[in-house]
Structure 1
Amino acid sequence: MTGRRRGGGLLVAGTTSDAGKSVVTAGICRWLVRQGVRTAPFKGQNMSLNSFVTRDGAEIGRAQAMQAQAARVEPTALMNPVLLKPGGDRSSQVVLMGRPVGEMSARGYHGGRQEALLGTVVECLEELRSTYDAVICEGAGSPAEINLRRTDIVNMGVARAGRLPVLVVGDIDRGGVFASFFGTTALLSAEDQGLVAGYLVNKFRGDVSLLEPGLDMLRRLTGRRTYGVLPYASGLGIDEEDGLRVSLRGTVRESAVTPPVGEEVLRIAVCAVPLMSNFTDVDALAAEPGVVVRFADRPEELADADLVIVPGTRGTVRALDWLRKRGLAAELVRRAAEGRPVLGICGGFQMLGEHIEDAVESRAGSVTGLGLLPVRVRFAAGKTLARPAGTALGEPVEGYEIHHGVAEVLGGEPFITAVAGGGPEGCRVGEVWGTHWHGSLESDGFRRQFLRRVASATGRRFVPAPDTSFGALREEQLDRLGDLVEEHADTDALMRLIERGAPTDLPFVPPGAPPAPGDLGAPV
């Protein structure tokens, strides 16, 4: 703690998971920093398989790293002190202040450990508030999950501890947004309700004037205003929180820019393995004009792909078994024998090897890999967390590492050479490639060279665009989020809320049935 004046703050909660909290938080961060307000994001507890490594080697949720980019600050562990990485339906790896501290069942975590972490979460929040003018916090799920309220450290628990005003986001595209706003508020205690300042409608399609009568009625029902109605905007689902909650099968990601006339499309299939982690690795490929990325779980969906990617996963051995049972493993072996490109990233790289010794993640012991790369993998108790840089295909490349598996490369060629401060990384045999580095495809020069190699191997007349900058596209997305907030929210009222906190005269909303519309009276 530095003793500076305490900065303002806001908690962005949601009526449900995937209501848009992450992108709304990022949009508010980008809007604030464009006003000259020093801003930081924060999420006390995150459950996600999409994670990132900070410059000092701490693992945090990738959504918070994206929000830090929106705020134009370097991400740190303070911004996401507790990260839960699911290993199945009932257990998760607990990452505390960027370092793994063990596996825990959901019952054990909510039975005492979570409550004990509230002090750490609040300390991180207060340290950020002592450094920045504003801290925009993201909630998780819904604050009305009353079965978890006693041990909550991410929604109303942190709002109460930090005296943060709460803005509740609802996804109107799903329907039922008014009931969700009212029910979320009414289920909270009087003390919690005293911090719920109002609502933000997300993903609205159509004429806002048609929505206004409902917003007026909602205000009469709850005594709380709506701070804005954000229109539906495609292409803004950047750095999704959780691969377990996102159904990826059949999902197509492709650039909005068409390839030049006469050039062919390059088709990429991503194996939708269980417990997929960091599936955002393929976003840079999808940003290329003429590249179509599809997530697939059947062997016939790989047949016409020019490149198949086996992505990272929190369950390498489980995913390997899934590939075999689904028939995808046989298709990968057939592709490799035909000289057709295959890329394995992190856990996918490990599966492409000859042998896996796992006494840590699955505790399965010795497992035979797919045998496409001369690599043997041993799972270590400690986790590798790093932000390496090097050279691949003659181009500079950067990435980040998050893995327990240690690879012994017994042949082939390195995937990445001239690694700063270390030896070569990964492995390549023919057109089968493997690396532990997430994010390597975000390096523009390397990505273009790699796609040229894929096109050459498959005989496609595909030429990567010479000027696609993934970093610039990401900045454009973040600016679009900031524009949505600036153009469609009451930013003056939002700024007052961040600076001054929740209004002191917010009424209590009882959980009983609301009065009939004719009995609502005048607006509050």
Structure 2
Amino acid sequence: MSGALLVAGTTSDAGKSMVVAGLCRLLARGGVRVAPFKAQNMSNNSAVTVDGGEIGRAQAMQARAAGLAPHTRFNPILLKPGSDRTSQLVLRGRVAGSVAAGDYFTHRDRLAAVVADELASLRAEFDVVICEGAGSPAEINLRATDLANMGLARAAHVPVILVGDIDRGGLLAHLHGTVAVLEPADQALIAGFVVNKFRGDPALLEPGLRQLHTLTGRPTYGVIPFHDGIWLDTEDSVSVRPGGLVGPPQPPRGEQTLTVAAIRLPRISNSTDVEALACEPGVDVRWVADASDLAAADVVVIPGSKATVSDLAWLTERGLAEAIRMHAARGRAVLGVCGGFQMLCRRIDDSVESRAGTVAGLGLLAADIVFDREKTLRRWDTPLYGFEIHHGRVVGNAEQDWLGVGIRRGAVYGTHWHGLLDNDAVRRAWLTEVAGAAGRTGFVVADDIDVASRRDAQLDLMADLLAEHLDTDAVLDLLAHGPPSRPTMRTALDRPTG
């Protein structure tokens, strides 16, 4: 078998990443040498690769699904937004400056060559490459600079499956409209549709899918049911909403639960760090953005940030900074990860990210942070798993060492390590400490939760759902023969006005 396929979506968070991961796992289980590929990702959730670079976390997860170690070639272009208009450009795993939305066109040809080179290399090495689109191909205002959706599909002549999340409503219009607004040459590559997160009786949906086929000339390859067991490795910030739970709550093993308030920063990065806590029975993790939400919390977590100084100012403006200090003053636990760790320190000297110079931190840890122009990228797999992605370095530290990967003062903890809580022994020991600090004597830390196995089980679950509900023969045919002949629809640009 040989071939490539692009999984595009009607919106962000439509399920592209999980469908790609499920296909990678399904094919790998069948003995196919498969690799994931996302030409360009825009996300502050990232991971360090075995070749010492940085890629989107979803591509690291998809590599795991395919039985591969994460590598920069799976995501050659990563944009990490630091504001509404500028992003850090990570090219082949390394920082290559910053780009503004308005001048991205000037980089297009150079970046397109990188994408073409990496995809060609993967297709030469692997039997199959499953590509993931970015956002939606219906963003026709961005078509001229598109490298990840129809720009990629057209350049590489690969078929496209369009995935939509029916749980949001309006999906049939989204699917029809996405095809309708595309140029005819782009339309020709849209092979068919996949409905994601369906609840209810599929028979009720069937008449709509038949009409969609009549209107577009394209079949629906599958209707994937909603499953609340799939929630780990969420990449898109769209799904990280204040007030929302991180994963379905697990019943406690003891008489009490432990409540974790995770701060939903405006420029949050690696929000997935708190997912390991949500795997624990009796640990309820909720995203919060208001000071009042901290009053009943046993633990506060400040996650990473792509705009540390700006997000620190946001904490102050919303009263969260003072609420965090009060929480710590009561002896309850506060954990800062990466940017959140930097905020807990006395001072931050940043002439790189925000160029704000020296600003005061929360002062809960006796250490200072100085930003380096060179980004620190490190990955460990033994004896502990974790990785670092940051410009800030710790200086003037007068605090107690924490596990050799961070510092602590009483119940205030800080680390630059992402993924630290995925280490089961570390997480259990830490939960025992913070439950004691909160006076939760009736909380029992489970001794049988294996987060790595939970992540693998979700990949297998997604593969199982695709095996049962997706027309896999049709997908294999696309991989073997490329884009099928599909009719051209009239676009909005073709229609007369008046």
TM-score over 0.5 for the alignment? yes
8 Å CA contact 2:20–2:132 kept in 1: the answer is: yes
* Correspondence for 1:492: 473
- Report the equivalent of 2:23: 28
Picking from 310, 328, 331, the partner of 2:302 is 310
Q: Which runs of 5+ in 2 are unaligned?
A: none
What secondary structure, in the 3-state scheme, does the structure 1 residue paired with 2:172 have?
helix
1:98 has 2:93 as partner: yes
Equivalent residue in structure 1 for 2:388, among 393, 401, 422: 401
Looking at structure 2, the residues matched to 410 and 371 of structure 1 have their Cα atoms a distance apart, in angstroms, of: 12
Q: Are residues 116 and 299 of structure 1, via their aligned partners in 2, closer, same or farther at CA, if it must alter by over 3 Å?
A: same
Structure 1 counterpart of 2:6, one-letter code: L
> Which of 364, 377, 385 is the matching residue for 1:372?
364
Alpha-carbon distance, 1:257 to partner: 3.3
User: Using the alignment, how far apart are the partners of 1:272 and 1:348 within structure 2?
Assistant: 11
Map Cα deviations across residues 323-379 of structure 1 (whole Å, 9 max, x no partner).
111111112222222321111110111111111111011111010111111111111
Query: Displacement, 1:499?
Result: 1.7
Q: Which residue of 1 aligns with 2:397?
A: 410
Question: Counterpart in 1 of 2:373?
Answer: 381
Which of residues 335, 350, 355 in structure 2 aligns to 1:363?
355
Aligned pair partner of 1:443 in 396, 399, 423: 423
Distance 1:247 1:476 in 2: 22
The 5-angstrom pairing of residues 258-407 of structure 1 reads 258-260=251-253, 262-388=254-380, 396-407=383-394
**Match for 2:342: what amino acid?**
Q
The amino acid that maps onto 1:479 is: D
C-alpha contact (below 8 Å) 2:10/2:175 kept by paired residues: yes
Other structure's SS at 1:198 match? strand
Aligned counterpart, 2:147: 153
| Structure 1 position 207 matched with structure 2 position 201 | yes
**Structure 1 contact 83–96 (Cα < 8 Å) conserved:** yes
Instruction: Say if 2:41 is the partner of 1:62.
Output: no
Inter-partner Cα distance in structure 1 for 2:310 and 2:251: 38
CA distance in 1, matches of 2:170, 2:46: 32
Instruction: Give SS of 1:300's match.
Output: helix
Match among 458, 465, 484 for residue 477 of structure 1: 458
d(CA) in 2 for partners of 1:35, 1:56: 27
Q: CA deviation at 1:203?
A: 1.4
> What SS does the corresponding residue of 1:184 show, helix, strand or coil?
helix
1:140 equivalent in alignment to 2:134: yes
Q: 1:238 aligns with which of 232, 235, 255?
A: 232
Deviates more, 1:97-106 or 1:207-216: 207-216
Per mean C-alpha deviation after superposition, the further-off stretch among 43-52 and 198-207 is: 198-207
SS in structure 2 at match of 1:263: coil
What is the CA–CA distance in structure 1 between the aligned matches of 2:90 and 2:239, rounded to whole Å? 22
SS across alignment from 1:72: coil
SS in 1 for 2:377: strand
- Tell me the CA shift for residue 19 of structure 1: 1.4
AA aligned opposite 1:326: R
Identity across matched positions, percent: 53
Q: 1:384, 1:29 → 2: CA distance? A: 30
Note if 1:53 corresponds to 2:40: no
Q: Distance in 2 between the 1:184 and 1:118 partners?
A: 23
Match of 1:3 in 2: none
Give the secondary structure class of the aligned counterpart of 1:400. Answer: strand
Q: Would you say 1:251 and 2:244 are equivalent positions? A: yes
After TM superposition, the structure 1 = structure 2 runs for residues 167-186 of structure 1, keeping only pairs within 5 Å, are: 167-186=161-180
Distance in 1 of aligned mates of 2:258 and 2:215:
53
Q: What residue in structure 2 maps to residue 192 of structure 1? A: 186
The amino acid across from 2:269 in the alignment is S
Counterparts of 1:219 and 1:341, CA distance in 2: 55
Matches of 1:144 and 1:333 in 2, distance apart? 45
Separation in 2, partners of 1:297, 1:405: 24
Q: Report Cα offsets for 1:102-144 as digits up to 9, x if no partner.
A: 11111111x2213431110011111111111111000011112
Q: Name 1:129's counterpart in structure 2.
A: 123
- Residue 218 (structure 1) aligns with: 212
Stretch deviating more after TM superposition (332-341 or 37-46): 332-341
1:512: how far off?
A: 5.7
CA contact (8 A) 2:231 2:247 kept: no
- Residues 58 and 76 of structure 1 are in contact (CA less than 8 Å); yes or no, is this contact kept in structure 2? yes
1:520 is matched with none
Amino acid paired to 2:173:
A
1:175, distance to aligned residue in structure 2 (A)? 2.0
Instruction: Report how many aligned residue pairs link the two structures.
Output: 494
Name the CA distance, whole Å, in 1 between partners of 2:458 and 2:474: 25
SS, match of residue 194 in structure 2: strand
Is the Cα contact below 8 Å between 2:10 and 2:163 reproduced in 1? yes
| Cα displacement string for residues 274-330 of structure 1 (whole angstroms, at most 9, x for unaligned residues) | 201001000000000010001112222111211111111011111111111111111
- The alignment status of 1:508 with 2:465, answered yes or no, reads no
**Could you tell me which residue of structure 2 aligns to residue 74 of structure 1?**
69
C-alpha distance in 2 between matches for 1:432 and 1:389: 26
Q: Is the 8 A contact 1:7 1:131 kept in 2?
A: no
Cα distance change, pair 389–371 in 1 and its aligned pair in 2 (3 A): farther
Q: Distance in 2 between matches of 1:321 and 1:46?
A: 27
Note closer, same or farther for the CA distance 1:353–1:389 as it changes in structure 2 (3 Å cut).
farther
Q: Is the 8 A contact 1:254 1:288 kept in 2?
A: no
CA contact (8 A) 1:356 1:368 kept: yes
Aligned counterparts of 2:153 and 2:319: Cα–Cα separation in 1: 48
Deviates more, 1:319-328 or 1:130-139: 319-328
* Corresponding residue number in structure 2 for 1:421: none
Amino acid at match of 1:16: T
Letter in 1 for 2:353: E
Distance 2:135 2:64 in 1: 23
Q: Secondary structure, in 3 states, of the residue corresponding to 1:252?
A: coil
Q: Distance in 2 between matches of 1:206 and 1:410?
A: 56
Q: Distance in 2 between matches of 1:428 and 1:74?
A: 32
CA contact (8 A) 1:25 1:41 kept: yes
